[in-house]
């Protein structure tokens, strides 16, 4: 899967995702850190990449309707800090077929994953 990590994600996540076979780049490595959301969004779409972020702005279904983009994975964890984020990301990306998330809005919480798919309005939960 082609993935772009937003600047609010740990840089070490790139190596973890690469070790799992994902083609991963980062907003920071592309010199896009500090740029507005529309610039980040455009870069992810032009590169055909799933955007992985903690930025709630990308969860707005009016702007980012599933099926109209390459996909968004939004991490919303209660436990603060990058160690918790890395642990959850490793769990998710090593056990779930994320290739199925192209075009979807995916919200990852501490114990649940909600996937909003393009072909229907209902959310499905995956433990």
Query: For every one of its 127 residues, what pLDDT tens digit does the chain have, with 9 covering 90 and above?
Result: 999 999 999 999 999 999 999 999 999 999 999 999 999 999 999 999 999 999 999 999 989 999 999 999 999 999 889 999 999 999 999 999 999 999 999 999 999 999 999 865 445 544 3
Phi-psi region for residue 81, left (φ > 0), alpha (ψ -120 to 50) or beta? Answer: left
List, edge to edge, every strand of the sheet that includes 50-53. 23-26, 2-5, 50-53, 72-75, 105-108, 113-116, 123-126
Instruction: Give dist(CA 112, CA 125) in Å, integer.
Output: 7
* Burial of 111: CB neighbours in 10 Å, binned 0-12, 13-18, 19+: exposed
Q: Is the pTM of this model over 0.85?
A: yes
């Amino acid at each position: 899967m082609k993935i772009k990590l937003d600047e609010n994600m740990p840089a070490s996540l790139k190596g973890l995702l690469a070790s799992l076979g994902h083609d991963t780049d980062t907003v920071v490595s592309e010199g896009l850190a500090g740029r507005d959301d529309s610039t980040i969004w455009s870069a992810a779409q032009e590169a055909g990449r799933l955007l992985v972020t903690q930025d709630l702005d990308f969860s707005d279904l009016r702007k980012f309707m599933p099926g109209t983009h390459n996909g968004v994975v939004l991490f919303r964890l209660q436990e603060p800090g990058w160690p918790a984020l890395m642990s959850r990301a490793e769990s998710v990306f090593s056990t779930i077929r994320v290739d199925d998330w192209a075009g979807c809005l995916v919200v990852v919480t501490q114990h649940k994953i909600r996937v909003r798919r393009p072909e229907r309005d209902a959310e499905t939960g995956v433990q």
